[in-house]
Amino acid sequence: MSLSIIAYGGGVQSTALLVLAAVKRIRIDAAVFANVGDDSENPATLRYVRGIAVPWATSQGVPVHVVDRVQRDGTVETLWQRLTRPDSRSLPIPVRMSNGAPGTRNCTTDFKIKVIGRWLRAHGASARDPATVSIGISVDEIERANTRRAEPHERIIYPLLDLRMRRVDCARLLLDVGLPVPPKSSCFFCPFHRLSAWEAMRIEQPELFDRACHLEDILNERRQRLGKDPVYLTRFSRPLRTVVDPGVQFLPLDDDTGSCDSGWCMT
């Protein structure tokens, strides 16, 4: 039988997939969590994955593998390292350009899809015998489902859609088995954050918020040296620290999607 895994993201929906596997409602051989870096992932997500999800799933007979992006020389590369490397010209995260348009997004491909793909191929997946990869997209986010993104060595499926489960159903499932509901998973500096998420970070995790502001500064200092226009982590064409400012009032309108459209992140 072909290999079957969960692309585990550490959030509510993919943790619900772990539970569904544990209670035998879906068949999987393992779950694989691609860690974009301890300096890049939301620290709360890493605490949940390592301290709660992995021990629980292991106790239920569902192995969870945490894998990193490993370069050809054997060293681990994190997304933060790629972004902040002094000689880097790369902008792999979907920053907002000065005209408001989103930039390119290679972070999901390079640090999630390719990392898990390498693990799959190392465990026997191929174009002739593709692995089945379960993605945690729920019914209320059905627009994110897109099987055309599959690589030759994988076949993407969406068990939560088949089971007609919403995000709230996933949260209830976790509580039913005694698991706390995890925070929304993502890189802490992800430009897809809603304004409300940035505001909560400023209040609840000020050091993390300052690091995100510092990253924006680093990117723009580099772009200034290269003679390029500035980029931003929000759609407001202003530095993050001035957008999320306790002295500035915004209308309660937040029309960002709050998530990437692939399902490999934020699930």
What domains can you pick out in the chain, each with its CATH number?
4-243 (3.40.50.620)
pLDDT at 67 over 90: yes
pLDDT (0 to 100) of residue 251:
46
pLDDT (0 to 100) of residue 252:
47
pLDDT (0 to 100) of residue 262:
59
Percentage of residues in the chain having pLDDT higher than 70: 92
pLDDT at 148 over 60: no
Side-chain-side CA neighbours of 206 within 13 Å: the count stands at: 3
pLDDT at 168 over 70: yes
pLDDT (0 to 100) of residue 151:
85
> Sorting pLDDT into bands at 50, 70 and 90, what band is 146?
confident
- β pairing state of 231-232 and 96-97: antiparallel
> Sorting pLDDT into bands at 50, 70 and 90, what band is 260?
low
Q: What is the mean pLDDT of residues 201-226?
A: 95
Q: How far is CA 109 from the centre of its chain?
A: 11
pLDDT at 32 over 90: yes
Lowest-confidence segment of 144-158, 163-177, 243-257 by average pLDDT: 243-257
pTM as predicted: 0.91
Q: Enter the tokens of residue 157.
A: 């499926």
pLDDT (0 to 100) of residue 149:
62
pLDDT at 249 over 90: no
Residue with the bigger pLDDT between 226 and 11: it is 11
